[in-house]
Structure 1
Amino acid sequence: MVTKTLPRWIYSSLGNILLNRRYPKISDQSKYLILHAFSRRNSGDGLLVDLTLEAMADAGIGGAEIEILALDPDSFDDDPPVHRAPGEPFAQFTPKLAGAVFELLANQLGSGQVAKRVANAKGLVAVGGGYLVADSFVRQAGVLLNHLAQLRTAARAPIPSIYLPQSVGPLHGPVGQSVKRNLNKVSLFCARDDLTMAEIGGDNIIRCADLAVLKLARTADIVADRKLHAGAPIVVGRDLPHPGDYIERLKNLGQSLSKPLWAVQADVAGDRSDRAFYQRNGLSDDGTLAAMLADGTGGAVVSVRLHGAIASLIAGRPAIHLAYERKGWGAYEDLGLGEYVHDAREFDVALVADQMAQLGQDPTAFWDCITNAAPKLRAQYVGLVDELRRYLL
């Protein structure tokens, strides 16, 4: 299928580079366009899309008024309509990378597939996340090919553009500088941690917690939903760049826990799959985290994936986070759970195992932290919805 559609993509992009013209509008009915969606094969990314749609609905924008631009559109259903974004979602060498290169060239002249979609939109909303990281050659290439055309188009669009809570950076090299420069040009940029606030700066930036953190704070009856999950502990691991002692520590943690369940959050193609990560390191996965949370399997959770931890909290499970980027510390500090977030590459195995045992026996103090943080977070969400309404309606 890719080999049939690629030439049309290439020729279309080349034509726009040579002619320096914009695409015509898709239809006469303008819609709001959600940018930077990734894939539902990663439940954390799918959750952020759902929470973006929920926030827009709370602002008065229904699904019939929305379209989505996603790197892996085949993983979504068609409500709202989902279109393919330029790029390769699974860091593999496929013909999609050639299309992304031509898209960048066309985008430099204000043309291309993204410009075509944006030309017919009446407002742009970027999903929350942590995808704009440019601290190595590989990650700079990922931002360049998968996201820069969308960001650059949003920055120069004559319509409102809002970037929902993001952790951005570190930003190195020319790609990093381009990200910073363009983020300072969007209508509103929401930073979900203090390091991002400091690195991006600008008059258009506000501090706002992660969408999933805000969802947790709005979950009805946080106190009433406290549960003593005395089942087997759940561990959510993942591959990390520059792991150091991470894998050894993670295996030692598994041995320190009582018959842990190894859960998969991201089941995607290639090395980014949690299942593939377990197989490479001699671990056997016990199914998806989503299924465990849904059917009540297992107990407290320790997750390397941030949204694996937060999804567990939303489902009523106490969860420890082994953070590998600034977004993890920002989210857990916003929840008042600073003592339950640890550096994934340097965490104390015995300390985390002790915390998991305590949570399995009595999680009251843990939930008290969230209960105390919830009023401020609920107020943040009201403010965020007000900003969406003010800019987009």
Structure 2
Amino acid sequence: MNVPEVYLLHAYSSRNSGDGLLVELSLKAIRDAGVTGRIVVVCLDKVSFEGYLSDTNIELISVGQFFLRKVCGAFAHRRCVYFGVGGGYLRASSKSEGWKSLVAHGSQILMSTVGGPSRRIYLPQSVGPFDTAPGRMLARLVRGHVERIFLRDDKSVDELGHPGATRTGDLVVLEIDQHAHSGTLRRARCVAPQVYLVFRDLQEKPYREEYLTRVRALMGLLPEAKLAVQSRGRGNSDDVFYRDLLGIGDAVLLKDVLAAGNAIVVSVRLHGSLESVLAGVPSVHLAYERKGRAAYADLGLDAFAFHASDFDPQTVVSAVQSIIADEEQFWRCLERRTQQGHQHFVEAIKDELRTFDNPDHGR
């Protein structure tokens, strides 16, 4: 395959462990699809990825460096493939969020069209809503310039209306699926698990005050539970939320919790839950976006996912207690839904690359 330049766009920051994991799994998917050469990773927080990624055949550049490179090479006519990191960043639920998405992410899509022949393949996303002016502009950019996009929930498929869209699981869901299929997911327990809570501020949600009330009630019902930090820095730090809104300054890092392993995690952050399951730690998820319930449905774990907007704290506690009483039932639910989704996903990427390399392929 003659592809001189391969880019991975939209890398955010490894200070959010979920976003860091998505970059790692995006690189893994690209490698699994047969790309062996150097991959240029375009980062919003370049410094956070230095020394973080296990793939050494990469180049880290900032968004500004990417723009400069594309402008300087506008007439070089190099062939390029651009991958979009899996995630949920192409959204515009409000005008302010829409403009931020356009500036941070729409600009990268637009700049990827500068120069020679190119192909854009976006790894599993949740996108939208697009019912604001910047949202509609963002949707047009995606439909007009992204040739293939994998979408991880049905509502995104309906709202985007993209002819090159394929419904698939979140990258971490696909990775969990692989491990469950090979029987390498579960961990043996020696003592009773410790319960950890991962919360985040939902400052732009209209139900924020009710959410805070429910969070405090949940903590009251789980007095032995400890707080864990999944994301910090870049404006929405879990530890700042704990200190300023909950009055608690003591929290551990989720990655340390998962390394130890003997835990149950209740997480508002989707990838706080998915990282936990991937590490063999059961997790109850309090979803605040469409991606959360979709991911848990894909895993067969619907009974362990609730809406952050209206969850009943006692029902969440009951779900936690059911795992403590019989952890096997959590894993049985997941394993009954195990499919070879990752293999089909990788084959679809390979097919897209073959089409770019040979335009007559598949006709």
- Name the TM-score class by shorter chain: 0.7 to 0.9
CA contact (8 A) 1:226 1:367 kept: no
Moved more, 147-156 or 113-122: 113-122
92, 99, 105: which one pairs with 1:134?
A: 92
Task: Tell me the TM-score normalized by structure 2.
Answer: 0.86
Q: Which residue of 2 aligns with 1:303?
A: 267
How does the TM-score come out when normalised to structure 1?
A: 0.80
Q: 1:254 aligns with which of 191, 216, 219?
A: 219
Matches within 5 A, 1:301-340: 301-340=265-304
Q: Is the 8 A contact 1:217 1:378 kept in 2?
A: yes
Alpha-carbon distance in structure 2 between the residues aligned to 1:147 and 1:230 = 44
1:77 aligns with 2:50: yes
Q: Report the secondary structure of 1:301's partner residue.
A: strand
Q: For 2:39 and 2:165, how far apart are their aligned partners in 1?
A: 24
Q: Which moved more, 1:199-208 or 1:229-238?
A: 229-238
Q: How does 1:106-255 map to 2 (within 5 A)?
A: 115=71, 120=78, 122-154=80-112, 158-185=117-144, 186-219=146-179, 221-222=182-183, 225-228=186-189, 230-240=192-202, 241-242=204-205, 243-255=208-220
- CA displacement at 1:351 relative to structure 2: 0.3
Q: Is the 8 A contact 1:85 1:114 kept in 2?
A: no
Distance (Å, rounded) in 2 between the aligned partners of 1:309 and 1:176? 28
In the aligned structure 2, how far is the partner of 1:312 from the partner of 1:130?
19
Letter in 2 for 1:153: M
Fraction of identical pairs, as percent: 35
Deviations along 1:89-120, one digit per CA (max 9) or x if unpaired, are xxxxxxxxxx9xxx9xxxxxxx7555557865
C-alpha displacement at 1:250, in angstroms? 1.1
Q: Pairwise CA RMSD of aligned residues?
A: 2.4
Q: 1:181 to 1:292 in 2, by over 3 A?
A: same
- Structure 1, unaligned stretches of length 5 or more? 1-28, 87-98, 104-110
* 1:333-359 Cα deviation digits (max 9, x unpaired): 111111211111210100000100111
Report the counterpart of residue 8 of structure 2 in structure 1: 34
Q: Give 1:382 deviation, angstroms.
A: 4.1
CA–CA distance in 2 between the matches of 1:205 and 1:156?
23
User: Structure 1 392/276 Cα, relative in aligned 2: closer, same or farther at 3 Å?
Assistant: farther
Deviation at 1:174, TM superposition (A): 2.4
Q: Which residue of 1 aligns with 2:347?
A: 383
Letter in 2 for 1:210: D
Cα contact 1:304–1:344 (8 A) shared by 2:
yes
Paired residues, number: 340
CA distance in 2, matches of 1:209, 1:115: 35
Counterparts of 1:115 and 1:244, CA distance in 2: 46
The residue number in structure 2 matching 1:43 is 17
Partners of 2:257 and 2:356 in 1: CA distance: 38
Deviation at 1:385, TM superposition (A): 4.2
Instruction: Note the residue ranges of structure 2 that are not aligned, 5 or more in a row.
Output: 358-363
Q: What displacement does 1:160 show?
A: 1.2
Distance 1:322 1:147, change over 3 A: same
Letter in 1 for 2:137: S
Moved more, 251-260 or 115-124: 115-124
Deviation of the 1:33 alpha carbon: 0.5
